[in-house]
Structure 1
């Protein structure tokens, strides 16, 4: 007999965090997320999505033993054809009946609130964290990336979830051969005195925040939803990232000092956080500083890549990538780079990733479940 507990008290909150650690204790690739990062999602003072939504966590037990957990939520700004809620932070033993019980519980919770479909596993927050179910490439997860057992795919699909879209993660070895196109373009633009490449520097974050904003808003204004970003927000983000910025791996290209392209990377924090067992108190912060100093981090993560429209399809990215690659090969320990996931509904970005000489090394899936199974299922539209 499975019982349900809504997460409310301190003990339940700890169990919500500790259950996955027990479940994955023999999986060498599992990296426990920082408790702080999980808790912040469920803190209305930290998570702006509570202003236009609601979220509840549940723990499921068989007698006194935890067999599963999940968060279920509604984000009213998440506009879909039918009212759609979300589930995330799902973990479960390898038992279909238990998973069905959990999914049914969420469906009933959402149905009472006028919802007609579920997307999951997703985050009660932005898509850059805790989004999607890992289906291929069961490697160590990147920081704030979901990780799960392979059997989770069957638990979702046997219940009736279908793939709404796939999330593709592209990677390449740092010392792999670089496309001849890149080296040719590098040779071409190196002769142009108007063109220069500069790495991001911590002592001049204001300048690089301004340059980032200019390139981002120009490169992405007509792409997808066309969201503009404010310079003040970029500077705040840069300042927050300052402790982990590596000055050798983020690059900007200029034409007569005007920014025309950027390639933003950071170290994969999980290569350090995996030694902290999810905690980040005073002792763990000191340990983090020690690990960061003495443990080589061999993986970097690509955050943003952009070229302003006037310079697109002219090969300037080849100049930037080869300039940056030569430098970081000499000055860092990184051996691989991985891009943040790209949805299969975004062929333009996929083409850019492929042109960077990358290969797909892992896939995640965002699933959708329609309460009315007679309705036609439609995948995410192409943008």
Structure 2
């Protein structure tokens, strides 16, 4: 087998073609948008190149068939904050072959070891955790969510046979929008709603950056206990809003305030994979026309929640249920096209949030797994600590 570093336009094309061979018999699979993936490997587009590096390869077998791909990367801001320097691998696709998969894993490991890494996490993203992060291990019957993982069941064995161990699991949940809020939460929420200090409102696009600052305020308070948390600057919050703007429905993004100060948010977006299933992974001019057609046709009838945060002082008071009730009321009155809410993703290191989501009457949609491989077999492996 021959490993080939992706350097030319022809290599890039092959990198994107390989998954179509892997999933050709899987009707559930929806290809990632190749333009989105290319941004990950573009130094001008991906800010992680300011403090990191990335490389990718494709694998050719003895019959000159392309049978796999992989990427490796180092985020130096995070790598050296771990107990041992830790890099990452991702965008792994491979036929069901131990030889082929081990060749890809060994290539990534060698490149990372040459750069002083002592472990690697995967499959992960050279970027934020909300995209391309984790390996699907349960929920194969469900359609993948935009920019989230979907892989064949045999990948789990390929990773574990190579020696990867579970670093943490990630859970995605769903609930019918028409389903009632559990009585326990409804009563607590009603007490919140009677307190005139609380107000709830959805985002307005013409005030988007004001809401970006409210989002940042809550985020920095609610996420401060997460590992390697550095705080979110205003520029990053504005960037997040700008990236969401082309697909956002402002009535799906809600904020809670107490005495006019932001204390919680719920951010959801239309589940645009319901559109991208018609585009076949290429958002070229024709793909954009298809996207606009399906957007105005109302093809999206699901939403996916990408962020849900409550400041510590306002947790366990029923505010979580109150903001969900506000969103539910919006769905029932105006946004009637939406039928299902999918919440992505919550790590098993966050038991508080898992309990909240379970109490809101959700069911498990998918289980993903983030693995870690220690390069020294005698090194002590530790799972991700709970927050």
Pick closer, same or farther for the CA change 1:229–1:110 going to 2, 3 Å: closer
- Listed as ranges, the gaps of 5+ residues in structure 1 are none
Q: Are residue 215 (structure 1) and residue 214 (structure 2) matched?
A: no
Question: Which residue matches 1:71?
Answer: 71
Pick closer, same or farther for the CA change 1:308–1:158 going to 2, 3 Å: closer
Equivalent pair of 1:186/1:323 in contact (CA under 8 Å): no
Pick closer, same or farther for the CA change 1:219–1:370 going to 2, 3 Å: closer
Q: By how many angstroms is 1:206 displaced?
A: 3.4
Question: Which residue matches 1:16?
Answer: 15
Q: TM-score, normalised by structure 1?
A: 0.93
Q: By how many angstroms is 1:155 displaced?
A: 0.8
Among candidates 168, 173, 181, match of residue 170 of structure 1: 173
Q: By how many angstroms is 1:321 displaced?
A: 1.4
Alpha-carbon distance in 1 for matches of 2:188, 2:73? 48
1:300-319 deviations in whole A, cap 9, x for unaligned?
11122222333322212222
Which is further off, 48-57 or 164-173?
48-57
Aligned residues: 382
Question: Which residue matches 1:106?
Answer: 108
Question: Which residue matches 1:120?
Answer: 122
Question: Which residue matches 2:249?
Answer: 246
Pick closer, same or farther for the CA change 1:43–1:108 going to 2, 3 Å: same
Taking only aligned residues, the RMSD between alpha carbons, in angstroms, comes to: 2.0
Which is further off, 124-133 or 207-216?
207-216
Question: Which residue matches 2:3?
Answer: 4
Alpha-carbon distance in 2 for matches of 1:146, 1:110? 23
Question: Which residue matches 2:371?
Answer: 367
Alpha-carbon distance in 1 for matches of 2:44, 2:99? 36
Equivalent pair of 1:166/1:365 in contact (CA under 8 Å): yes
Alpha-carbon distance in 1 for matches of 2:226, 2:96? 41
Question: Which residue matches 2:133?
Answer: 131
Pick closer, same or farther for the CA change 1:110–1:144 going to 2, 3 Å: same
Q: TM-score, normalised by structure 2?
A: 0.92
Pick closer, same or farther for the CA change 1:335–1:158 going to 2, 3 Å: same
Structure 2 SS opposite 1:244? coil
**Correspondences of 1:51-62 after superposition (within 5 Å):** 51-62=50-61
Q: By how many angstroms is 1:69 displaced?
A: 0.8
Question: Which residue matches 1:91?
Answer: 93
1:100-126 deviations in whole A, cap 9, x for unaligned?
222222222333333322211111222
Pick closer, same or farther for the CA change 1:222–1:134 going to 2, 3 Å: closer
Alpha-carbon distance in 1 for matches of 2:76, 2:154? 31
Q: By how many angstroms is 1:292 displaced?
A: 0.5
Q: By how many angstroms is 1:232 displaced?
A: 4.2
Among candidates 315, 318, 321, match of residue 321 of structure 2: 318
Alpha-carbon distance in 1 for matches of 2:112, 2:259? 55
Structure 2 SS opposite 1:341? strand
Alpha-carbon distance in 1 for matches of 2:49, 2:210? 34
Q: By how many angstroms is 1:168 displaced?
A: 1.5
Equivalent pair of 2:320/2:356 in contact (CA under 8 Å): no
1:290-347 deviations in whole A, cap 9, x for unaligned?
1111143122111222223333222122222112202213322222212221221222
Equivalent pair of 2:168/2:347 in contact (CA under 8 Å): yes
Question: Which residue matches 1:307?
Answer: 310
Q: By how many angstroms is 1:148 displaced?
A: 0.7
Q: By how many angstroms is 1:274 displaced?
A: 1.8
Alpha-carbon distance in 2 for matches of 1:222, 1:373? 30
Alpha-carbon distance in 2 for matches of 1:168, 1:262? 20
Which is further off, 292-301 or 11-20?
292-301
Among candidates 282, 286, 295, match of residue 285 of structure 2: 282
Q: By how many angstroms is 1:196 displaced?
A: 2.6
Structure 2 SS opposite 1:248? helix
